[in-house]
């Protein structure tokens, strides 16, 4: 169940725990103690590292804004839900009408900086601390450094340049301006490189530690940073290192990818860990996952909220015979878990009695839809992890970089297609189109599409997009607190 803690002023934002997985990684009681004496042993330092991971699973970014922008703002999905006013934040972003007053943007800014602050406190508290073993110092600092880069990556995707904070701030330092975009990317790259040099490989970790940062996770995020900056040679080289490491592979059955059973599995490079603690009353949205109920069909016979609904445009993108469509998109009348006690008919179309808010002909997202036996008692507590980076993503980065480098792009791309029984791409005469198509159908409804479109100059495929809307507005509350923050030209 949710743990509530009291923090002393000096320990504010350093630690906290709601983030864990079935193997009990990060399932640690967190004490309240003054920071001056907190980092007194390997155990207390580990508890602080737990708190660094914690904000990654919180509701507002990974369980909300990431898919709201990645899917809904793009051409892959519409908002859905109960009409235009239901989750108006998403509606405004979907139509490129976000403002500095958009509340979810303010929360995402705050929560990511909370994670950064926690990481900085761990780095400062552990480094050269004689109470902590050298081995633990190195690993804990590497984990905190990786997570700091992760939080900055979340910020740079949404807002662009940000103020770099690499230490625990004094009050006089709270009004720093944004660094340049180039400086921000350089900082992220350096953090990931430093983490890679120390973090263990996934193959060397016991099952109880799965979900913690690894060499592969840091290398994958660094590859992604190179991709976003069009550093194609570095991207191809590093993605190939990840592929050649043999630590990851494609899940044999595509349909098994988004199940609790494959959390932290062979294809997972980095998952956000989420868990149902069996709450018997309204729980805590930063504990388990609300994504499943957000996306399940709103029809009262299915009991979801009906957001993030796939478009016809996405449905039509799949080739004939591509099984990924049926594992990505649910159409009206589909029967899931047939022949089991969980068998369920999914209703996605308009129904004046059962589903009055649905389109006349609609679709729902299948990835992450859980059978009834695995749904939590509370709406905000599903146990399914969120796949942030999986191996297919790495293979397609390798293919994309190889196209730009004039090298072998077909081998990694065809490996992804072979998993679902497909041969060469129908777009093989246009290598970039082949990669773009494959990324769309392989990673559909996984919060990637918007950023794939804008980073490759294809934003015009989204109705209402202009280049000045690439980044979302900086929250007004932050500009009011720090007048040195320059606003984005949204």
Q: Is 261 helix (H, G, I), strand (E, B) or coil?
A: helix
Q: Could you tell me the CA-to-CA distances from 69 to 62, 64, 226 in Å, in that order? A: 11, 9, 21
Q: What is the pLDDT of residue 6?
A: 24
Contact yes or no for 476/100 (Cβ under 8 A) = yes
Chain mean pLDDT for the chain: 91
**How many whole angstroms separate alpha carbon 319 and alpha carbon 14?**
49
Contact yes or no for 161/180 (Cβ under 8 A) = yes
- Which of the four pLDDT bands, split at 50, 70 and 90, describes residue 7? very low
Q: What is the pLDDT of residue 378?
A: 76
In the chain, the N- to C-terminal Cα span, in Å, equals 41
Instruction: Report whether CATH 1.25.40.390 matches the domain 1-198+464-490.
Output: yes
Q: Name the E strands within 256-350.
A: 268-272, 307-310, 329-331, 335-336, 344-345
**How many whole angstroms separate alpha carbon 38 and alpha carbon 444?**
44
- CA dihedral sign of residues 444, 256, 368, 192: negative
Query: Is residue 257 predicted with pLDDT exceeding 80?
Result: yes
426 or 24, greater pLDDT: 426
Query: Is residue 5 predicted with pLDDT exceeding 50?
Result: no
Q: 246 phi and psi, to 5 degrees?
A: 75, 10
Least confident of 21-25, 53-57, 95-99, 310-314: 21-25
Cite the residue boundaries of each domain of the chain with CATH code 1.25.40.390: 1-198+464-490
Q: 89-137: per-residue pLDDT in tens?
A: 999 999 999 999 999 999 999 999 999 999 999 999 999 999 999 999 9
């Amino acid at each position: 169940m949710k743990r509530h803690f009291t923090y002393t002023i000096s320990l504010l934002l350093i630690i906290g725990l709601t983030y864990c997985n079935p193997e009990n990684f990060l399932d640690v009681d967190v004490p309240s103690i003054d920071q001056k004496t907190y980092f007194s042993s390997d155990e207390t330092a580990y508890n602080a590292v737990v708190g660094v991971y914690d904000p990654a699973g919180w509701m507002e970014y990974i369980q909300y804004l990431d898919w709201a922008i990645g899917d809904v703002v793009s051409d892959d999905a519409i908002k859905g839900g109960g009409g235009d006013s239901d989750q108006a934040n998403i509606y405004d972003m979907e139509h490129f009408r976000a403002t500095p007053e958009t509340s979810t943007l303010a929360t995402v800014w705050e929560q990511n900086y909370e994670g950064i602050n926690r990481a900085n406190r761990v780095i400062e508290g552990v480094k050269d601390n004689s109470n902590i073993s050298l081995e633990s110092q190195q690993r804990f600092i590497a984990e905190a450094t990786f997570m700091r880069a992760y939080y900055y990556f979340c910020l740079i995707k949404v807002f662009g340049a940000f103020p770099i904070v690499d230490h625990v701030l004094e009050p006089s330092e709270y009004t720093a301006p944004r660094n340049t975009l180039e400086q921000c990317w350089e900082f992220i790259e350096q953090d990931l490189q430093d983490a890679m040099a120390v973090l263990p490989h996934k193959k060397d970790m016991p099952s109880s530690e799965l979900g913690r940062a690894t060499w592969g996770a840091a290398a994958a995020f660094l590859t992604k940073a190179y991709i976003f900056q069009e550093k194609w040679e570095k991207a191809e080289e590093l993605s190939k290192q990840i592929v050649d490491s043999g630590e990851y592979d494609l899940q044999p059955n595509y349909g098994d990818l988004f199940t609790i059973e494959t959390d932290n599995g062979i294809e997972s490079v980095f998952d956000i860990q989420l868990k149902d603690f069996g709450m018997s009353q309204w729980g805590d949205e930063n504990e388990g996952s609300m994504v499943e109920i957000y996306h399940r069909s709103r029809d009262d016979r299915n009991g979801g909220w009906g957001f993030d609904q796939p478009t016809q445009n996405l449905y039509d993108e799949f080739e004939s015979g591509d099984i990924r469509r049926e594992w990505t998109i649910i159409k009206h009348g589909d029967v899931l878990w047939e022949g089991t006690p969980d068998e369920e008919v999914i209703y996605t179309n308009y129904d004046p009695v059962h589903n009055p808010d649905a389109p006349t002909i609609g679709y729902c997202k299948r990835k992450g839809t859980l059978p009834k036996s695995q749904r939590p008692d509370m709406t905000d507590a599903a146990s399914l992890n969120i796949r942030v980076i999986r191996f297919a993503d790495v293979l397609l980065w390798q293919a994309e970089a190889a196209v730009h480098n004039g090298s072998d792009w077909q081998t990694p791309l065809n490996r992804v297609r072979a998993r679902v029984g497909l041969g060469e791409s129908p777009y093989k005469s246009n290598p970039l189109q082949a990669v773009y198509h494959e990324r769309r159908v392989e990673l559909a409804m996984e919060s990637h599409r918007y950023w794939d479109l804008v980073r490759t100059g294809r934003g015009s495929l989204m109705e209402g997009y202009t280049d000045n809307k690439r980044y979302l507005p900086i929250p007004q509350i932050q500009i009011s607190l720090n007048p040195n923050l320059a606003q984005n030209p949204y």
